[in-house]
Structure 1
Amino acid sequence: MTILVPLLGDQLSHNLASLRAVTPASAVVLMMEVADEATYVPHHPQKIALFFSAMRHFAEELRQAGWTVDYVTLDDPANTGDFTGEVTRAAARHGATSIVTVKAGEWRVLEAQQAWPGAKLLDDDRFLCSIEQFADWAAPRKRMVMEDFYRIMRRQTGLLMDGDQPVGGQWNYDQENRKSVPKGHRFTPPLRFAPDAITTEVMALVAGRFGNHFGSIDGFSWAVTREQALAALADFITHRLAGFGDYQDAMVTGEDVLNHSLLAPALNLGLLSPLEVCQAAEAAYLAGAAPLNAVEGFIRQILGWREYVRGLYWFAGPDYTARNHLAATRPLPALFWGAPTDLKCLSQAVDATRRNAMAHHIQRLMILGNFAMLVGTDPAEVHRWYLAVYADALEWVEAPNVIGMSQFADGGLMATKPYAAGGAYVNRMSNHCKTCRYDVKQRTGPTACPLNSLYWDFLARHEGLLSSNQRLWRMYDGWRRFAPDEQVRIREQAAGFLAGLA
């Protein structure tokens, strides 16, 4: 009697439910590098290499722990290229009498798993909130405000709690986490990991097969084992957590990381658990090594936001990525794929993405996402781009952040307003405008920052749909205060820029 245990690339946890359900003596663990998963969107080469390298390292760890592992490499001549084909081949190869696997993290792969004959699908219990618990919370609500969910999770886990109340008397210190970076401030670079023999082999494979994908494989230095991920966590807690809060939303030319953790890929692969990461941050606060605003802000990203978007993804259903509340139809501008742009904020974010398969959350939301929404880009195209280019982009976490938060394509299911901004926001939160060829203080004219006219044009285009939103009344009041001829000039300026994009 042999039990086949298919294990996916984001299930690299030794306490995975399927591994707990069987014994090494009775099971064969199947791990698969398949072309379909590398190409259903053109994933960044570093993202593909991260998955394959982490999978190969994890397979070796399982073997050392006594498991039998059947590992199918991408370049195996018999590789069918998809999960179902490989599960079918492995079941026959090992004479499997049953299949036990953990449910995939996205609808597309779950639907494939459900078609595997006789497969027992187990819930993924590595999250702090189950899909069922989230659905019970969300079902009676018209709008699912993350802050409400976050407070429940704080009480449930006891993180940063003093009895039933938050430590420090406040639930959320976001207002303290929007400081500009002082001139000359230096950030401690994150711990990086030189590729070992396994990673080097994977990098060569990926470069040969997927070298035409957007992004550079050079400089790959991600954590690919739990040991490395724990070292990266310790490095963040020691060197960057204390300053994380103050400059959480800041952007600095030439600085890719600032005080961000870069732990999301390790969390999403399963190399770290969300609770242990949050507890490490809480311990730093209790030890006096990091201030409350930094620790609360960091924990909120994981305990609040990460758990929230996962629950929303499953609650919203498989058609969530097709939503298009603003009826946006423009193709994704070529600058997202590296075409030149004189907008410094955009060129910085795209270049960081190309080099690192990473850009921090404000670059994603308020630079790239904001621009895509202002120019009216089809949200499905925006979604596919984000899914392709970021190392931490799995659909369950990426789609709500893009469709709901960034593009307002779900009509307010997730966000209470569109996150639209003009050049003033970028100027306030970054130093990009100082070296940009555009003048951030001008709305019209040959040197005016395009974000300014695009912002007002966006509001004008969607006035019938958005003007009743209570969080936008000040913006619409501002628009109506412009003289009619100024409104015409602004919209003509935006139309000229949009024509140039085409």
Structure 2
Amino acid sequence: MPKLCLILGDQLSLSLSALQMLDKDSDHIMLAELYTESHYVKHNKLKIALIFSAMRHFAQQLREAGYHVEYYAYENTKDQFSSFTDAVKHQLTQHSYTQLICTEPGEYRVNKEMQSWHHDLALDILIEPDNRFFFSLTQMHSWFAERKVPRMEHFYQFARKQTGLLMEDNKPLGGRFNFDKENRHAWQANTPLPPTLEHQQDKITQEVLNLVEQEFSDFPGKLERFNFAVTRQQALAALAHFISHKLPQFGQFQDALSDKNNTLFHSLIASYINIGLLLPQEVCQAAIEAYQDEKAPLNAVEGFVRQILGWREYVRGLYWYAGESYKEKNALNATTPLPSWFWTSKTQMRCVSQAISHSLDDAYAHHIQRLMIIGNFSLLAGLDVKQVCDWYLAVYIDAFEWVELPNTLGMALYADDGLLASKPYAASANYINKMGDHCASCRYNPKLVTGAKACPFNALYWDFIQRHESKFAHNPRMALMVKQWQKKDVSDQKAIVQWATSLIEKLDQV
């Protein structure tokens, strides 16, 4: 009798561990588009379309490679199956199987369901480790368990040494592990932007776009903006385009903000890695080869490799090490409801409006927009942690809980009390004005703290410091700002707090 292999929508790789366990001539593969997976948050239509189209193309690729594939399309499952368990049980009625094989899922939610199969299904269950990362979950758990303060920079150095990437004689190329100080240039408006890569849409993608528009009409996202790779071949073309046209200037402008363009020199390939169309090892190697061929500077290549080898692996390890209760953390007691403009982008703050409109319409914003614009405002205003995390998970095309939750709850909101970040990433309007040109088109003045024309970031920043004064006074990276607050005249402090309070009370109008 054959074995059955379940492949999830973010596991679309021929090198997947579960696939390696199959006999192509006898075993079966199943993929399923499920209502529950597309509705547990209000996912961006572009994200749903990408995953459904990529799944259908991957099924086609598997069939062309000689595999027997059972595919459950959304049209046939939305009223029939409420979970992967339902889909698997149905498939078990269609054939007799000796074993169900899976690759471990990326999220606790799905892992809990899979673990129940050991007791609920009458066949052998084999869940293989996910081999699409540099490090296994076992390795990551050991690394975190051995450290009282498990910082990403320490992991990154460990990862460089373990993999040998950008290393020579066990020393980092260029004499440093981190070239971040060279990668913080403000946006220069006269810098020529790279060309856009257009991905052709075939019949499969067009059918998916029509389906998503019909079934998810009230979800965020503009499907006319769909320009994503849905096959391995297209994803490789996107990687090559980044290496040739963007990587050389990616480093210096990776933190920059532009009112005219929200992608700049960013790669736009995170979603392809996260669903399996690209592998992190080949992505890093492509960047390193560009450096070796003198087509990209070391600071750019190191900064890019750090995002993949360092940050991506680290947040996955932290997600699984911290446990399922991590999502319940709220160290700063942030409970202010999400303003309505998080779903409309209709705020008068130009930087926030731009970042949110691109997030909603294009399912994309780069890391500074996510962290220092939207995340920073959410932190300063004390927005409800769960609502913010659910919003990030919903709107971004590359968002899966294992990568989204630590980035949002830990990095942006400091809700884990410093497990991930050594300080809150809080900043006033000065940072935003320095890194980009949004302020020039904004009704608010970045230099004013209170009053109708004052940028809300300023009063909210000082009010944030005041609200958590006792906690931050003992943080080496925040103590200076606490002292600056304490040096202000009492009358100034009172005016700032009153103005910040009024802003929070009318956030929908800001």
TM-score by length of 2: 0.97
Q: Counterpart amino acid of 1:473? A: A
Contact 2:85 2:113 (8 Å CA) reproduced: yes
> Equivalents in 2 of 1:329, 1:446: separation in Å?
25
> Equivalents in 2 of 1:189, 1:367: separation in Å?
26
Q: 1:416 aligns with which of 422, 426, 446?
A: 422
Alpha-carbon distance, 1:356 to partner? 1.0
Q: Which residue of 2 aligns with 1:446?
A: 452
Q: Which residue of 1 aligns with 2:495?
A: 489
Moved over 3 A (4+): none
> Equivalents in 1 of 2:232, 2:221: separation in Å?
25
Q: Which residue of 1 aligns with 2:315?
A: 309
- Number of aligned pairs? 502
SS in structure 2 of the partner of residue 121 of structure 1: strand
Q: How does 1:178-189 map to 2 (within 5 A)?
A: 178-189=184-195
Alpha-carbon distance, 1:465 to partner? 2.0
SS in structure 2 of the partner of residue 151 of structure 1: helix
Q: Which residue of 2 aligns with 1:110?
A: 111
Distance change in 2, residues 1:289/1:339 (3 Å) = closer
SS in structure 2 of the partner of residue 119 of structure 1: strand
Q: Which residue of 2 aligns with 1:100?
A: 101
Q: Counterpart amino acid of 2:257? A: M
Alpha-carbon distance, 1:192 to partner? 2.5
Q: Which residue of 1 aligns with 2:20?
A: 20
Alpha-carbon distance, 1:163 to partner? 1.1
Q: 1:235 aligns with which of 237, 241, 252?
A: 241
> Equivalents in 1 of 2:350, 2:88: separation in Å?
47
Alpha-carbon distance, 1:339 to partner? 4.7
> Equivalents in 1 of 2:221, 2:380: separation in Å?
25
Contact 1:57 1:225 (8 Å CA) reproduced: yes
Moved more, 38-47 or 134-143: 134-143
Q: Which residue of 1 aligns with 2:300?
A: 294
Alpha-carbon distance, 1:183 to partner? 2.7
Q: Deviations over 1:86-145 (max 9, x none)?
A: 011011112222101111110000111112223211111110011111111111322211
SS in structure 1 of the partner of residue 252 of structure 2: coil
Alpha-carbon distance, 1:235 to partner? 0.4
1:2 equivalenced with 2:2 (yes/no): yes
> Equivalents in 1 of 2:155, 2:145: separation in Å?
13
Alpha-carbon distance, 1:186 to partner? 2.2
Q: Which residue of 2 aligns with 1:169?
A: 175
Q: Deviations over 1:35-69 (max 9, x none)?
A: 00000001000000000000000000000000000
Q: How does 1:101-500 map to 2 (within 5 A)?
A: 101-116=102-117, 117=121, 118-500=124-506
Q: How does 1:9-48 map to 2 (within 5 A)?
A: 9-48=9-48
> Equivalents in 1 of 2:332, 2:198: separation in Å?
41
Q: Which residue of 2 aligns with 1:58?
A: 58
SS in structure 1 of the partner of residue 319 of structure 2: helix
Q: Which residue of 1 aligns with 2:83?
A: 82
Q: Counterpart amino acid of 1:347? A: S
Alpha-carbon distance, 1:180 to partner? 1.2
> Equivalents in 2 of 1:331, 1:94: separation in Å?
49
Q: What is the identity percentage for the equivalent residue pairs of Structure 1 and Structure 2?
A: 47
Contact 1:154 1:161 (8 Å CA) reproduced: yes
Q: Deviations over 1:342-400 (max 9, x none)?
A: 10000000111122101000000000001111111111111100000000001110000
Q: Deviations over 1:216-274 (max 9, x none)?
A: 12220110000000000000000000000000000100202100000100000101110
